[in-house]
């Protein structure tokens, strides 16, 4: 959960508060936390998938879990593909928007999953 909060602050703060591009120490922190987040997401998905697969009830918790997992994977994959030089400028802009949208969906899902886990 710490990685999600750190990524949210470093990713959304420059755009929403300063109306500037991500740069400097915030960019370096964001990239570092992104790698940690992707590794933690893989471990988290393997460890918790059995509890969110088929048991009846608690559909909100299961939906939030799978939203975090899929949106996090989409966001990471989009930004990794953005680093490949075979995409043109238009495609890189599209991949950046997919990254931002996936990150927002992942953040919303993480808040929902945390709520349902505390409520459990």
Find where tokens 């893989």 sit.
42
Q: To the nearest whole percent, how much of the chain has pLDDT over 70?
A: 99
Q: Is pLDDT at 85 greater than 80 in this prediction?
A: yes
pLDDT in tens, 87-105: 899 999 999 999 999 999 9
pLDDT in tens, 31-64: 999 999 999 999 999 998 888 777 677 788 889 9
Q: What is the pTM of this model?
A: 0.87
Alpha carbon 42 to its chain's center: 12
- Supply the DSSP symbol for 108: H
Question: Is 44 in contact with 117 (CB distance < 8 Å)?
Answer: no
**What CA–CA distance (Å, rounded) separates 52 from 26?**
34
Among 59, 94, 67, residue whose Cα is nearest residue 79 = 94
Average pLDDT over residues 26-34: 95
CA within 13 Å, CB half, 44: 18
* pLDDT value of position 55: 66
């Amino acid at each position: 959960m710490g990685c999600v909060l750190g990524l949210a602050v470093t990713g959304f703060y420059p755009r929403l508060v300063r109306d500037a591009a991500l740069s400097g120490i915030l960019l370096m922190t964001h990239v570092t936390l992104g790698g940690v987040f992707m590794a933690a997401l893989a471990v988290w998905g393997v460890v918790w998938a059995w509890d969110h697969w088929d048991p009846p009830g608690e559909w909100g918790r299961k939906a939030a879990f799978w939203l975090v997992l899929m949106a996090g994977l989409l966001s990471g994959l989009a930004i990794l593909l953005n680093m490949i030089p075979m995409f043109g400028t238009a495609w890189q802009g599209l991949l950046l928007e997919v990254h931002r949208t996936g990150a927002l969906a992942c953040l919303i899902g993480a808040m929902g999953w945390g709520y349902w886990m505390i409520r459990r």
